[in-house]
């Protein structure tokens, strides 16, 4: 029997403000932001804050007593096909070393997904694995860059892009993105100046945390600068399926022969299908020499992808499109809701609706709550966000917000932030 749970935008109970149905569900929620009730129909599983805490995820247990919106985990479970694959694995008790057939199926499914969604005709033989994208990044730095070569980032950047290179003693050079009235733009002159022979450009495509979806023309210009400076590219495309407004994700390695030659691409189902704990990233090679070196010298990295992750990846890429479409539709609603909420409750804040990802970059400097805005908001709003300074020098006074939650929780988060930002 279908379970119906009634909730309000203020997270209370016994309210008629909205109706929530678990599993295959119709969601009709009054988004308590000055708008009429808005119907959103999805097939994603929603949880209340109490249920999310009870599940015990990092996002909801790291900072007790807060609403979690920092680490990039979604609050909607995953696709039914992933559940089915894991149940079958458990029924077979296939907790052995991963058989080659399991790897082969995941390679094939990855190739099919990339061809279907991005027009990238990559051979399964050019696909390998890692436990996660950051493991692939570290292997790339170890195997394909001189020890003294720097790492170059467009900032604000994904936080571990600073931490991971530091574990290898790498210098990180920041190239701030340029914020215009309606876009984030690359400072190509600054990027050119930051690159040098052997440098590794860590490209986040789409860009976490600002949600920029890079165009083919931008990629072509980046490729020209990489070639000019004899550098390399590690392209993190983990958010690739999560793009909006009819935009198309363009895999960086596909824009030219040169781009393919100097790039290693890594991706995963972990964001699009919400399975980061299953540990199976895919590493896509467009340079046969790189592929061979990786398989020879990083075999303990590629072999660390776990059985649950391999079967979940195969299932998600082959049978998860319908669920993914509904997930994207829900996220699309949330990024627009975020704009309405910021406009209503935080009029002095700066927020550019992201073109992709489920991450929001919120500039709160006008409210003068300090450079570590996240710490202030944990204390005064009981909301757990990411400190913008972890994303680079440009992040002082800013926060990174995970919008992959229910409309009700997102509304409560912004309202709490707004209340905390009021003059005391």
Token readout for 372 is 């570590």
Q: Is residue 405 part of a domain?
A: yes
Which residue, of 262, 289, 319, is where some domain finishes? Answer: 319
Q: Is residue 45 part of a domain?
A: yes
Token readout for 169 is 């003693």
Do residues 106 and 36 share a domain?
A: no
| pLDDT digit string, tens, across residues 242-299 | 999 999 999 999 999 999 999 999 999 999 999 999 999 999 999 999 999 999 999 9
Do residues 234 and 100 share a domain?
A: yes
Q: Is residue 329 part of a domain?
A: yes
Q: Is residue 15 part of a domain?
A: no
Do residues 63 and 134 share a domain?
A: no
Q: Is residue 42 part of a domain?
A: yes
Do residues 402 and 274 share a domain?
A: no
Token readout for 375 is 């710490």
Do residues 191 and 284 share a domain?
A: yes
Paired sense of beta strands 172-176 and 151-155, if any:
parallel
Do residues 111 and 147 share a domain?
A: yes
Straight-line distance from the first to the last Cα atom of the chain, in angstroms, rounded to the nearest whole number:
50
Query: CA 76, CA 70: separation in Å to the nearest integer?
Result: 15
Token readout for 386 is 């990411």
Q: Is residue 9 part of a domain?
A: no
Query: CA 164, CA 169: separation in Å to the nearest integer?
Result: 9
382: cis peptide before it, omega within 30°? no
Q: Is residue 365 part of a domain?
A: yes
Paired sense of beta strands 4-6 and 281-285, if any:
unpaired
Do residues 176 and 273 share a domain?
A: yes
**How many domains would you assign to the chain?**
2
Query: CA 321, CA 278: separation in Å to the nearest integer?
Result: 19
Query: CA 334, CA 209: separation in Å to the nearest integer?
Result: 16
Per-block mean pLDDT, blocks of 10 residues, the chain (424 long)? 26 30 30 39 71 95 98 96 98 96 99 99 98 98 96 99 97 98 98 99 99 99 99 99 98 99 99 98 99 96 96 99 97 98 98 99 98 98 99 99 98 99 86
Say what the pLDDT of residue 4 is: 23
Do residues 91 and 239 share a domain?
A: yes
Query: CA 55, CA 220: separation in Å to the nearest integer?
Result: 44
Query: CA 149, CA 229: separation in Å to the nearest integer?
Result: 12
Best CA proximity match to 206, nearest among 244, 234, 240, 179: 240
56: domain CATH number is 3.90.1150.10
246: domain CATH number is 3.40.640.10
Q: Quick one: how far is CA 105 from the chain centroid?
A: 24
Token readout for 207 is 């860009």
Query: CA 397, CA 3: separation in Å to the nearest integer?
Result: 42
Query: CA 28, CA 300: separation in Å to the nearest integer?
Result: 48
Q: Is residue 7 part of a domain?
A: no
Q: Which domain holds residue 32?
A: 20-73+322-421
Say what the pLDDT of residue 423 is: 86
Token readout for 245 is 């407004």
Do residues 254 and 123 share a domain?
A: yes
Using an 8 Å Cβ cutoff, are 400 and 360 in contact? Answer: yes
Q: Quick one: how far is CA 360 from the chain centroid?
A: 11
Best CA proximity match to 219, nearest among 255, 245, 244, 186: 255
- Say what the pTM is: 0.90
Using an 8 Å Cβ cutoff, are 214 and 250 in contact? Answer: yes
CB atoms closer than 10 angstroms to residue 375:
15
């Amino acid at each position: 029997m279908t379970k119906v749970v009634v909730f309000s935008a203020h997270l209370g109970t016994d309210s008629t403000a909205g109706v929530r149905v678990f599993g295959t569900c119709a969601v009709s929620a009054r988004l308590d932001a000055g708008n009429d009730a808005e119907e959103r129909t999805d097939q994603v599983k929603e949880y209340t804050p109490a249920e999310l805490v009870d599940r015990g995820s990092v996002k909801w247990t790291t900072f007790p007593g807060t609403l979690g919106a920092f680490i990039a985990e979604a609050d909607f479970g995953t696709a039914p096909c992933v559940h089915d694959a894991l149940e079958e694995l458990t029924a077979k008790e296939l907790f052995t070393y991963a058989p080659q057939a399991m790897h082969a199926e995941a390679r094939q499914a990855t190739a099919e997904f990339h061809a279907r969604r991005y027009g990238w005709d990559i051979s399964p033989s050019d696909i390998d694995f890692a436990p996660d994208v950051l493991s692939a990044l570290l292997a790339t730095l170890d195997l394909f860059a001189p020890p003294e070569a720097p790492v170059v980032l467009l900032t604000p950047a994904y936080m571990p892009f600073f931490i991971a290179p530091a574990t290898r003693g790498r210098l990180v050079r920041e190239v701030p993105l340029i914020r215009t009235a309606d876009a984030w733009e690359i400072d190509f002159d600054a990027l050119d100046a930051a690159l040098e022979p052997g440098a590794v450009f860590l490209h986040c495509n789409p860009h976490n945390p600002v949600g920029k979806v890079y165009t083919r023309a931008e990629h072509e210009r980046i490729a020209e600068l990489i070639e000019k400076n004899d550098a390399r590219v590690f392209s993190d495309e983990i958010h690739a399926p999560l793009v909006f407004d009819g935009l198309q994700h363009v895999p960086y390695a596909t824009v030219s022969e040169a781009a393919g030659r100097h790039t290693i691409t890594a991706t995963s189902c972990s964001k699009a299908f919400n399975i980061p704990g299953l540990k199976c990233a895919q590493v896509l090679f467009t340079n046969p020499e790189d592929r061979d070196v990786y398989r020879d010298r990083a075999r303990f990295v590629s072999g660390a992808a776990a059985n649950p992750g391999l079967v979940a990846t195969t299932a998600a890429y082959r049978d998860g499109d319908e669920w993914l479409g509904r997930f994207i539709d829900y996220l699309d609603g949330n990024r627009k809701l975020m704009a309405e909420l910021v406009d209503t409750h935080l009029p002095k804040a700066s927020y550019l609706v992201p073109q992709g990802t489920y991450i929001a970059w919120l500039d709160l400097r006008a409210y003068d709550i300090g450079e570590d805005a996240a710490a202030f908001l944990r204390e005064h709003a009981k909301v757990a966000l990411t400190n913008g300074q972890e994303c680079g020098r440009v992040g002082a006074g800013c926060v990174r917000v995970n919008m992959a939650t229910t409309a009700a929780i997102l509304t409560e988060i912004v309202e709490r932030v707004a209340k905390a930002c009021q003059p005391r």
